Amino acid sequence: MRGGVAQVFLAQALFRQPRVLLLGEPTAALDLRHLLLVLERLRLIASQNGTIIGMAMHDLNFAAQYSDHVLGLDGGRKIASGAPAKVLTPETLRIMYRIEAQVPQDAGSPQQILPLRAI
């Protein structure tokens, strides 16, 4: 589905004010500004309305920044589940993505994943 069509479907879903909203890659094909606008809006809706939002995301840095809970999968099998800092670790990234990565721990900054190489 193209970005514009997906945005219309997302807007229609949000208009209905659902209690649970499941999204598949809601920021795919968006430029950085619109990606941030969508993620910020979803976070606002979740906090104001109590909406539970589940979404598939492949950008782990945005997932870490905008998610309260992350589910890490490998081949459909649960590897880890919990707060982003507990799930998105070098060990779980090695299992889920078969990569080596650094995940610097800086208390004053959002979690950032730095991929180093494929293994």
Task: Supply the pLDDT for residue 28.
Answer: 87
| 99 has pLDDT over 80 | yes
Q: Please give the structure tokens belonging to residue 68.
A: 């309260």
Rg (CA), the chain: 15
| 29 has pLDDT over 80 | yes
pLDDT in tens, 32-82: 998 999 999 999 999 998 999 999 999 999 999 999 999 999 999 999 999
**Interatomic CA distance for residues 12 and 49, integer angstroms:** 16
Task: Supply the pLDDT for residue 5.
Answer: 65
The gap between the terminal CA atoms of the chain, to the nearest Å, is 32
* pTM for the whole structure: 0.81
Task: Supply the pLDDT for residue 3.
Answer: 54
Task: Supply the pLDDT for residue 6.
Answer: 64
